[in-house]
Amino acid sequence: MRKRLLLAALLLPLSMPLEAALAPGARAPDFTANGAVAGKPVSVHLAAALKKGPVVLYFFPAAYTGGCNAEAHAFAEALPDFTKAGATVIGMTAGNVDQLQKFSAEHCAGKFAVAAASPQVVRSYDVLLKKPDGSATAITSRTSYVIAPNGRVVFAHSDMSPAGHVRLTLEAVRGYAQKRR
């Protein structure tokens, strides 16, 4: 596990600039994934979450890494604002999924679900981090989507820096809510 996290830390600076694979207007692929909220196992189903309103689906490289810890904490702190705007937040990773229960309680403050992104979900959202030579790593990129209840992407942002993901997705959710009024 430590070798994998070390490899992730070494590869991140070598990564090419990112572009979100699913552009606004694209249909977000449905999925069901094993995850956790507040340290308790849950099943996360995108279609069920969309019945409640827009979903912020954010992919992160790996639990218990500096940027991912900070991003999860920032989403947890902003959750009342997302809830007020009618949105559900879901975090997903293909990295160290064995630690998601503990991570959900500690860094997500038990406020939202984090789930294990299967290889199929990673492929369908095209969030596999690539090295400069174009070859794949085993790590998901830091990519955030806002998905409307109709299953369409209304906002996408990819950047390995966690700065901006929470602010930009919250702006997109609020913008979506304003258009619905």
Specify the pTM.
Answer: 0.86
Rounded Cα distance between 21 and 30, Å, is 15
How far from 28 is each of 13, 23, 72, 129, CA to CA, in Å? 28, 10, 22, 19
Is residue 173 within 8 Å of 52, Cβ to Cβ?
no
**Domains of the chain: residue spans and CATH:** 2-180 (3.40.30.10)
Rounded Cα distance between 89 and 80, Å, is 11
Per-residue pLDDT in tens (0 to 9) along the chain, 181 residues: 444 443 444 344 433 334 557 999 999 999 999 999 999 999 999 999 999 999 999 999 999 999 999 999 999 999 999 999 999 999 999 988 889 999 999 999 999 999 999 999 999 998 988 777 777 677 899 999 999 999 999 999 998 888 899 999 999 999 998 888 7
Strands (E), 46-109: 55-59, 88-93
